[in-house]
Amino acid sequence: MYKDNYVTAIIAAAGMGKRMKNPINKQFLSINGSPVLSYTIKKIEASKYVDFILLLIKQSDIYYVSEILNKYKINKPYKIVYGGEERQDTIYNGLLNMPAETDIVLTHDGARPFVSVNKINSAIEKVFETGSCTLANPAKDTIKVSTNGKIVDYTPNRDRLWAIQTPQVFLKPIIKRAYEQAFEEGYYGTDDCSLVEKTGKKVTLILNDYNNIKITTPEDLIIAEAICREYNIEEDI
Q: What are 119-140's pLDDT values in tens digits?
A: 999 999 999 999 999 999 999 9
Element (H, E) at 174: helix 172-185
Residue 114 has pLDDT above 90, yes or no: yes
CB-based contacts of 219, cutoff 8 Å, min separation 6: none
In a domain, 23, yes or no: yes
What's the start-to-end Cα distance of the chain, in Å? 23
CB-based contacts of 168, cutoff 8 Å, min separation 6: 106, 107, 108, 123, 132, 133, 134, 135, 191, 192, 193
**How does residue 228 score in pLDDT terms, banded at 50, 70 and 90?**
confident
CA neighbor of 9 nearest in space, from 147, 146, 131, 168: 168
pTM score, two decimals?
Answer: 0.93
Q: Are strands 30-31 and 78-82 parallel, antiparallel or unpaired?
A: unpaired
As for how many domains the chain has, the answer is: 1
In a domain, 1, yes or no: no
Residue 227: alpha-carbon gap to chain centroid = 19
Domain extent for 73: 6-236
